């Protein structure tokens, strides 16, 4: 089955509009005329979840409905159309395997490059150095907070809030519950 972009997808891909994540946008770029199975296999299998989410949000059209793994073999219950809830428009959170301090750190470096490198190279260099010297979760998050404050000044509080939200999705859920599990991602242990 081939998927097609909707007008909503074309608007999302127009210059200056960015409401989806990088993976969602890249999948949208590739979607026109691609087989559903190829898109679902992207990103080590996470593509299936992204495709499903993009279809529910109205960015892609194709098969009438994507079956969920638990209900794929079951017939739909009587009156399912009337009782179905509205689809969520929120981005799915990354699975536990995608949450890490290293990933969050890279997200902050990437954010620094995208938002400050051309506009304010001195500030970008300051944030790069601060991220390199951040030795633990708290100091890394302090640098992130300072960066998001600058984003709020330059691009508005809403943009800063969306960046903060994405960072929170990348951070491990509870470092206190698993001490030492993320120690290998600390810069002090990676150097030398």
Among 15, 21, 26, CA closest to 162: 21
Tell me what pLDDT residue 48 has. 83
> Quick one: average pLDDT of 70-82?
46
Q: Are 111 and 186 in contact (CB under 8 A)?
A: no
What sign does the dihedral 33-36-42-48 (CA atoms) show?
positive
**pLDDT, mean of residues 146-170:** 89
- Other residues' Cβ atoms within 10 Å of the Cβ of residue 38: 13
Q: What is the pLDDT of residue 182?
A: 46
- Residue 49: phi and psi, rounded to 5, are -65, -40
Structure tokens at 30: 């590739």
Give the side-chain half-sphere CA count within 13 A for 36. Answer: 17
Lowest mean pLDDT among 51-60, 157-166, 167-176: 167-176
Calculate helix-pair angle for 121-133, 101-116, nearest 10 degrees.
170
Mean pLDDT across 84-88: 44
Output the pLDDT for position 22.
80
- Going by the DSSP 8-state scheme, the letter that residue 60 receives in this structure is E
């Amino acid at each position: 089955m081939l998927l097609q972009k909707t007008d909503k997808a074309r608007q999302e891909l127009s210059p200056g509009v960015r409401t989806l994540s990088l993976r969602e946008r890249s999948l949208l770029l590739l979607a026109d005329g691609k087989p559903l199975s190829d898109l679902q296999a992207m990103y080590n299998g996470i593509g299936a979840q992204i495709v499903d989410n993009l279809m529910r949000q109205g960015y892609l059209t194709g098969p009438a409905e994507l079956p969920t793994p638990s209900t794929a073999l079951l017939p739909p219950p009587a009156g399912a159309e009337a009782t179905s809830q509205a689809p969520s428009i929120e981005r799915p959170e990354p699975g536990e395997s995608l949450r890490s301090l290293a990933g969050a750190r890279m997200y902050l470096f990437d954010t620094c490059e995208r938002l400050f490198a051309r506009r304010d190279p001195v500030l970008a260099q300051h944030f790069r150095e601060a991220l390199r010297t951040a030795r633990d979760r708290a100091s890394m998050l302090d640098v992130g907070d300072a960066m998001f404050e600058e984003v709020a000044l330059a691009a508005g509080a809403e943009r800063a809030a969306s960046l903060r939200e994405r960072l929170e999705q990348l951070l491990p859920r509870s470092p206190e519950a698993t001490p030492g599990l993320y120690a290998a991602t600390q810069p002090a242990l990676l150097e030398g």
